[in-house]
Structure 1
Amino acid sequence: MTQTSVSGFSDAVRTELRRGEIVRWAGSPEGPMPLAPLAFILAFALFWTGLSLSWEAAALGFFWDAWFGANVSRTPRWVAVIMAVFGAPFVAVGVGLLASPLIMARKRRATVYVVTDQRLLKIESWRGRKVESVEARQIFQVMRTDRRNGFGDVEISRSTKTDADGDLIEARVKLESLRDARGAETALNALARKS
């Protein structure tokens, strides 16, 4: 998508643009989420949550029996309390893991990538606003990966600083699941050549 005006963009994009900055390309993640990491997260989340719920159910049974029942298990009351309290964070983590694919999907929908004549912007407008800005002079390499489903990713390498040995530490910014990955690559290469 090549545009020179920002009339079709959200307020999040408009407020981040500098005076006179021209948008060369803009897009957002549109493709499906990668299935392999998603399947792993869900399988692990189901196992974790099931195990932690089993623990918590047993611990609450001991708690109930020790405090309100006949204490058939002869569990000391303090042990029953510790077991019930100890299991609760694990259940909370399990629920968080089960919700993580939904959270990742919402975060993707709230992400916009913008290539201007001066820099690359990655704007995440979810739970506040997070803006990552990469100036043209910071772009060293642009790599595109096309997938069979027609979507693609574009990854840029940029220099950030040097380590204690004087070696260059390089950071990467990834534009994921783009319908027009080739257009993003073209705009980023033009931006890198400009510097």
Structure 2
Amino acid sequence: MINTFNIPEHLHERLRSELKAGEIITWAGQPIPSIYMKSGMKLWFFFIPWTAFSIFWIAGASGFEIPSFEEGWSLFPLFGLPFFLIGIMGLSSPFWLKKNARSMVYAVTDQRAITISGIKTITVKSIPLDQIKNIERIQHANGSGDLILQTRTYLDNDGDRSTEKFGFFAIDNVKKVQTEIEQLLKSQS
């Protein structure tokens, strides 16, 4: 099968390996890494103060001085180190999202919608086309955006209501992809 979509060959091969016999790809694409990473920027509103407070706490626990090891050394300031590391990990999450976007592929076939993600461990999610009911499109001025194909509400382990969205996030020309899916759905009904 020839790679007529604008995706790297190794991802096209990964997609081909997931296809059922006779299944035909009608569209395939990837998230735009620079836009996909922006979803992680919202976390910065939490992790900037978290990290700043952990630094302040470590400094306060050491008496706002660089420790001198002449009188022994207190381990107490090190209790703030895990919180500082969590803050650094949270602040770096947009960059991890950007890296992960390069290993993701989205596809629509004549039978289902598929997302494949992961670098070492691969996660494949798909929904049959007949389960796509209310498509939600979030479009930016440049034509990119998110296409939500299915929203599922469920109760988590604590009994709280949670929502899971399946779709294609941070894709280019989102309206065109929506139109292609809607035409495919019409042709099958």
1:59-101 deviation line (CA, Å, top 9, x unaligned): 3568955xx4347xxxxx8xx43x2342121011111012111
Q: Distance in 1 between matches of 2:15 and 2:179?
A: 21
Q: Distance in 2 between matches of 1:148 and 1:58?
A: 47
- Residue 161 of structure 1: how far off its partner (Å): 8.6
Unaligned runs of 5+ in 2: 156-161
Query: Structure 1 segments of 4 or more deviating over 6 A?
Result: 159-162
Q: Is 1:69 equivalent to 2:62 in the alignment?
A: no
Q: Is 1:114 equivalent to 2:107 in the alignment?
A: yes
Q: Residue 178 of structure 1 corresponds to which residue in structure 2?
A: 171
Root mean square deviation of aligned Cα: 3.3
- TM-score using structure 2 length: 0.74
- In structure 2, the residue corresponding to 1:141 is in which secondary structure? coil
- In structure 2, the residue corresponding to 1:21 is in which secondary structure? coil
Q: Is 1:16 equivalent to 2:9 in the alignment?
A: no
- Residue 186 of structure 1: how far off its partner (Å): 2.3
Q: Distance in 1 between matches of 2:105 and 2:125?
A: 11
Alignment check: 8 A CA contact 2:114 2:125 kept? yes
| 1:1-195 equivalences in 2 (<5 Å) | 5-8=1-4, 9=9, 10-30=12-32, 32-33=34-35, 38-60=40-62, 64=67, 68-70=69-71, 80-81=74-75, 83-157=76-150, 171-193=164-186, 194=188
Alignment check: 8 A CA contact 1:123 1:129 kept? yes
Q: 1:36 to 1:171 in 2, by over 3 A?
A: closer
- In structure 1, the residue corresponding to 2:114 is in which secondary structure? strand
- TM-score using structure 1 length: 0.72
- Residue 58 of structure 1: how far off its partner (Å): 4.0
Percent of matched pairs sharing the same residue:
28
Q: Distance in 1 between matches of 2:151 and 2:45?
A: 35
- In structure 2, the residue corresponding to 1:173 is in which secondary structure? strand
Alignment check: 8 A CA contact 1:26 1:112 kept? yes
- Residue 191 of structure 1: how far off its partner (Å): 4.0
Q: Residue 165 of structure 1 corresponds to which residue in structure 2?
A: none
Alignment check: 8 A CA contact 2:40 2:93 kept? no
Q: How many residue pairs were aligned?
A: 175
